[in-house]
A and B are shown apart, each in its own frame.
Chain A
């Protein structure tokens, strides 16, 4: 799945925990420096935010009208 913001997308909207977390971490490991990934979820993943901050990743979150949170994460 690709997205206008980045070709690296984890659509975790219909995954059960902790799959979204694991899939995001796996994709982050595969990204090259300067690349970004997008995580799609129907909730804000605060525990993931915490890990991202601890590991020095930047992220931006946008709430879409259908209730999807788009989280753009920098490598």
Chain B
């Protein structure tokens, strides 16, 4: 059966799965932290609690899923095979999990040794991942916008971690650094250069594939990663040379490029051929609309810097882009990837003799839809809590924890069903063998 051959080189399911199953737990922790800290956490984006919660989400949830998914998907979208994917996955997973807990503890307590340890663990972990992926990608020609996007995103990953280490050590040991400007730049490399470009590179493949839309125009998708990278390099130069106007121009450029990408994706989704909207489609619609609002806020600050001083402006930007944009994009993709990988591994283990169950038997549309409504409610509460923290900070944190706990539950149920079907298939195969 030739159709089976394509699956032979897929990494073992356990490689990406460990990331997907732990990521929601860090988001639960972030929600509980918001609930525990209460209204004070919404005082500014610089409170220790806000910094810790942000990193629990960006590293604990986003980076976990992104690196886990890359280990799985690099052979499929780039033809790049990682050496020993399971061993790499184990090490990177442990490193990220320990590193983000140390970082959250270090940011909350301000203890220099904890912050330094977090920086060390996270640097070594990301370095290991980068070395392994670069070795896999080094001989891969850049034949598609997706491969180009992945390569540029990996460069940005090095940038965001490098700046993160400088910031963590600067904070720990009181180095005379422009911490706020560097933190903005760190966020720019992380959310724009790494997460944004990687998201676009994956969207070029998964949006047409899973949502049956037209493709992304070749020229725009080819130039988007380079344009983002150029904006971030200009922004970095502006910080080094102390040219605030150039920094604002680069921010504006990056924000407008993001809005263009989101607008284009919305237009493509409008032309989709799948009649019924599913949870992934709805999650992406939410993510795209929230991102456009967030990037509009960022553009306004770039043109009119005083806007950043308006109460809640920066927090609204962060909540909209991360909890409103990236988390829905990632969760929407998880809701396709986990049932698809389960089906693929079941199909493969059936050896074309025992059929795999349909994907909706692994995770039903209704389960995903209800969880999505919980996430949308948590997002609305978080946004409202920025303006009414005394009443809403704790309910918003709890709602966010519940929505992500629910995501974990849905994924765990999917895996439990996968294991049940796997046992059934193995039993059916054994019975066939015994009957021969």
Contacts and interface: CB of A to CB of B under 8 A. Distances in A.
B218 A66 contact: yes
A46 B78 contact: yes
Interface in B189-228: 204-205, 208-210, 212, 214-219, 221
A67 B2 CA distance: 28
Interface stretch (B3-11, B88-96, B121-129, B162-170): B3-11
B348 to A, nearest CB: 11
A4 to B, nearest CB: 19
Given A14-B273, A44-B146, A47-B76, A25 B214 contact: no
A51 B2 CA distance: 8
B276 to A, nearest CB: 13
A13 interface: yes
Contact of B143 (A16, A17, A21, A44): A44
Interface string B1-44: 01101110100000000000000000000000000000000000
B47 interface: no
Contacts of A22: 3
Interface residues of A, number: 27
Contact of B214 (A42, A49, A54, A55): A42
B77 interface: yes
B75 A46 contact: yes
A17 to B, nearest CB: 7
Given A43-B146, A46-B77, A50-B9, A67 B209 contact: no
Given A63-B218, A64-B218, A50 B6 contact: yes
B32 to A, nearest CB: 38
Interface of A: 13-14, 16-18, 21-22, 25, 42-44, 46-51, 54-55, 61, 63-69
Interface of B: 2-3, 5-7, 9, 75-79, 143-144, 146, 204-205, 208-210, 212, 214-219, 221, 273, 340
